[in-house]
Amino acid sequence: MLKQTLLVLALSALSAAVLAADFNPFIDIPFKRIKTSAERIESHGYPAETHEVVTEDGYVLNMFRIPYSPKLANGNAQRPAVLIQHGLFSCSDCFLLNGPDNALAYNYADAGYDVWLGNARGNIYSRNNTRLSTSHPYFWAFSWHEIGAYDLPAMIDHILATTGERAVHYVGHSQGCTTFFVMGAFRPEYNAKIKTAHMLAPPIFMGNTTTPMVVSLADYVGSPGLGAELLQNQVFLPMNPLIQRILDTACSNDPYFLSYCKTLAMLWADGVGNLNVTLLPQVAETHPAGISTNQGIHFIQSYVSNEFRRYDWGPTKNKATYGTQVPPSYDITKITSQVHLYVGLADESANVKDVARLPALLPNMKELYEIPDETWGHLDFIFARQVKQVINDRVIASSKAYDQLHAN
């Protein structure tokens, strides 16, 4: 665990140093051009669109759209819309890399849906602000609260305005679930804009989490203090071509270095598990996609407190910000959307015991589905070899059942 933590911290430090010095010691290494999500979509023959969305606090988010599948007739027909949101360290690419046969975005498009892929503030596709430069610490002064409070509502409103739909289906993985819970509780008016909400590996309560990075850093940044103050409001694992080229090479060639690539998967979540390892070179092209340190700290705080609540700044700033010395908890009972929970028995981040606390609090929970595979882990929900059969088909079937029930 210490070895893994030191590796990711070293990569973060190297990446930051390269960015700061604008120096490339591997100048002779040919850099691979990284495809955008739109280019990945188009490479498989699907139409793709890029949309910019500006949040009420000035963050410029990039969304990618697959308006229809080339396998279906009448591409201009009105289609139900679905928003798919990535997890921590990730971006819209993660729902495309499994290819047109097995990736959730393509599966939804082939099922007749208008597919929208979101990108949270701070990742490689959403690193802009109308007022702030990324070099300014205020740019990074956000956690997953702001993603749920501002990013998701802005993206949903844009989808509805563009398509004319009244509501969308929503699928979130990991942090994409956390931010949905924030939105549903903090902005409860948005529940009416959701048809079905599918939570893949939801880290809401985290008291039983065993993820190495969370557990190993809990004593240092899990509570307000010097450790958190030194780390907060910064970019963590900033993405730059040098680091991505190193990771891409490590994941593609030498078997010795491939073990370190797999270690990155362990750091990101809870190990290789059912992971389709042939995807690792593509994953390494854009992952880790970058986050604010506050996002990681906020998750570690959730582990320490065993509560689902706002960011803990310490008693003095909490009092000034929230009116109480202890950060307020999110009222999950305000989430009236139809919620589907999916949990893996080997998931170290969204532990089955923690997820089991949610049904009693959700007034409109449709199902809690435990994957009938004792080895199913956190990343398997998007990168497993059998993800289409185990996850995607079930999620899409639930969406279609809702649409058929509420047709006209």
Residues marked as catalytic: 174, 378
Report the 10 Å Cβ neighbour count for 210. 12
User: What does the alpha-carbon distance between residue 254 and residue 241 come to, in Å, rounded to a whole number?
Assistant: 20
Cis peptide before 224 (omega within 30 of 0): no
DSSP summary character for residue 391: I
Our separate counts of H helices and E strands in the chain read 18, 10
The answer to whether 341 and 367 have CB atoms below 8 angstroms apart is yes
The answer to whether 262 and 277 have CB atoms below 8 angstroms apart is yes
By C-alpha distance, which of 189, 187, 153 is closest to 170? 153
Token pair 């701070």 in the structure block, residue: 122
Helix H or strand E encompassing 395: helix 393-405
* 3-state class (DSSP) for residue 2: helix
In sequence order, what are the residues at sequence separation of 6 or more whose Cβ sits closer than 8 angstroms to the Cβ of residue 405? Answer: none
User: What does the alpha-carbon distance between residue 318 and residue 40 come to, in Å, rounded to a whole number?
Assistant: 44
The answer to whether 210 and 173 have CB atoms below 8 angstroms apart is no
Q: Which two tokens stand for residue 243?
A: 């680091």
3-state secondary structure 136-176: CHHHHCCCHHHHHHHHHHHHHHHHHHHHCCCCEEEEEECHH
By C-alpha distance, which of 191, 202, 135 is closest to 166? 191
